[in-house]
Structure 1
Amino acid sequence: MDPGTYRRVVGRFATGVAIVTTRFDGVDHAMTVNSFTSVSLDPLLVLFCAEKVARFHDAVLEAGVWGVSVLPASMEDASRFFAHRGRPLNGQLARWPHHRGESGVALFDEAIATVEAATTAVHDGGDHSIVVGEVTALDTPSDGPPLLYHDGRYKTL
């Protein structure tokens, strides 16, 4: 299969956009994802996928806790920023209002939903790891239309 064709085909599936955060050795790490999903109601489980070569990958696995901020349409700039590799870690969250969740991870104040989780399993997913976590906290800090990703572009409802 051609990777370009694959990306075009799976890109037809509209997804929400979120930023996953963790804190390891006193440093905040964050990454834009569209691979976040609910897994189970009993126990409450969620998952996201992290590319193995991303520095976020090792940080989140070491930390064992993470937060998910589901983005509103007004946070497209944050999504783009946290999707780029190699940005400085120091002060990377400063442009967007955020707070610490119960687990100590950063959560964005404008998020339309937040989830905190503790890692319960990590599965091999080719060039990504599938990180499964048990939900430890939930919130809906703001309201508004969600940021979506479809066919290689950001969209809104």
Structure 2
Amino acid sequence: MSDEQQPGANGIPVDAWTFRAALGRLAGGVTIVSTIADGRDHAMTANAVTSVSLEPPLVLVCVETASRFHEAVLDAGVWGVSILGKSQRPAAQWLSTPGRPLVGQLDQIPHTRGASGVVMITGSLATLECETYAVHPAGDHSIVLGRVTALTLADEPEAALVYYRSQFGSLA
């Protein structure tokens, strides 16, 4: 039996499916992470976004290395994080759809641009504009650390959009 399939204390093998199921029980906020590379907008839905440091202000996002977003965010060196409210669920669902077209993927999503040109989703609970600070390989993902250079906060934020057990929900 390989290390990935060793049973845990209760005898459940630790494989990709059970690992995903276990971590799916950790509710997380939903974001759209965006960048612009070679004049094209790139965006993805992510719940693997975390604050790292207050001084300097750092956040991280985990990006699958096989995704087209991965190369774009590494090449660009700048990216944005839009923290979503419950009414933005359709945007989150669309930008998590595999194989969606790159060109025009943001046409139906209201947005503005940050100082670096990255897309910021209109109506978000908060937005962060980041410069890449460091990148660390991590299995089939890269951990991309960003220094926050600008942010916005909604005056009257709605309930947060969350992801739990492979489903979107909301949290007041």
Please tell me the TM-score bracket, short chain as reference: over 0.9
2:161 is matched by which residue type in structure 1? L
Aligned residue for 1:83, secondary structure, equals: coil
Q: Deviations over 1:69-90 (max 9, x none)?
A: 0111011111111112221121
Q: Deviations over 1:78-108 (max 9, x none)?
A: 1111112221121111111100111110001
Q: Establish whether residue 121 from structure 1 lines up as the match of residue 134 from structure 2.
A: yes
Aligned residue for 2:103, secondary structure, equals: coil
Note the 1:10-29 alignment, pairs <5 A.
10-29=23-42
Q: TM-score, normalised by structure 1?
A: 0.97
Separation in structure 2 between the aligned mates of residue 16 and residue 105 of structure 1, nearest angstrom? 21
- Does the 8 Å CA contact 1:123/1:129 hold for their aligned counterparts? yes
Equivalent in the alignment of 2:162: 148
2:159 is matched by which residue type in structure 1? P
34-43 vs 77-86, greater mean Cα deviation:
77-86
Matched residues, percent identical? Answer: 52
Q: TM-score, normalised by structure 2?
A: 0.89
Separation in structure 1 between the aligned mates of residue 168 and residue 144 of structure 2, nearest angstrom? 25
Aligned residue for 2:92, secondary structure, equals: helix
- Does the 8 Å CA contact 1:109/1:141 hold for their aligned counterparts? no
1:131 pairs with one of 132, 144, 151? 144
Aligned residue for 1:90, secondary structure, equals: coil
Equivalent in the alignment of 1:69: 82
Separation in structure 2 between the aligned mates of residue 119 and residue 29 of structure 1, nearest angstrom? 16
Using CA pairs below 8 Å that are at least 6 residues apart, which structure has the higher relative contact order?
A: 1
Aligned residue for 2:159, secondary structure, equals: coil
Note the 1:23-42 alignment, pairs <5 A.
23-42=36-55
Separation in structure 2 between the aligned mates of residue 2 and residue 25 of structure 1, nearest angstrom? 38
1:132 is matched by which residue type in structure 2? L
Structure 1 runs (4+) deviating above 2 angstroms are: none
